Homo-oligomer: A and B are copies of this chain.
Amino acid sequence: MSDNSRGKAMHKLTQRQKAVLEYISDSIHARGYPPTLREIGNHLGIRSTNGVNDHLRALERKGYLTREDMKSRTLRLMKTPDGKPSSRPPAANDNLIEIPIVGRVAAGALSEAIEQPDDTVHIDRMLIGGQRDVFGLRVTGDSMIEAGIYDGDFVFVRKQLTANRGEVIIALVGDEATCKYYYPEREHIRLQPANKDMAPILIPKNDWRSTQILGVVVGVYRRLH
């Protein structure tokens, strides 16, 4: 046994093997359970269970899946066709966070708005830095264009009542949620737009309630095209 290409080498898949792997993955995600040999064969036009088994053995040998002897539907994916470790069910859930997109946000109504969101999106934790208690908001207006936040952008906001100087926050001014830089100063809180044509909003510290900060912006998304 010369076995020259073993070790932790990246075994590449053939087109056919890839198709098999993809069908297994699809089946698991769409139905919640893996397919049988015959289901795989049926889907790919392979009439012999042995033909399918050949592919499964190859995939097993290359480390893309494991299975248990003599048990039906016990396929488990180990890697995606790209070679990424694919403990998909855990991975998909662990790395994702469901974020409510709230439409209008009125005073005190943030939690209500989050409880009954118009919509939700799923975001990879990687993109929001593993934060918790995040909600999404659609930006209206051009007050932050110099910070690269445009009209229509989505901002993802970590819910918190305090912020550090200079952070981009969502604050409640009157009955409206607004996106600004946060600059606490001696006499007042300055909410600074990133737009030289717009003036800062100054709120005397007397009038300021801590509940007016809804959160800190941790991500911005813009659709183009």
Beta-carbon contact of B34 and A225 below 8 Å: no
Beta-carbon contact of A33 and B93 below 8 Å: no
* A74 within 8 A of partner (CB): yes
Q: Is the interface of A mostly helix, strand, loop or mixed?
A: mixed
**Which A105-145 residues have a C-beta within 8 angstroms of B?**
115-117, 119-124, 126-129, 145
* A218 within 8 A of partner (CB): yes
* A51 within 8 A of partner (CB): no
Beta-carbon contact of B221 and A219 below 8 Å: yes
Sample of 4 further A-B pairs with CB below 8 A, known A33-B73, A129-B225, A221-B222 = A33-B34, A36-B72, A158-B225, A220-B224
Which residues of chain A have a CB within 8 Å of any CB of chain B? 10, 28-34, 36, 72-77, 82-84, 88-90, 92-93, 95-96, 100, 115-117, 119-124, 126-129, 145, 148-150, 154, 158, 167-168, 216-225
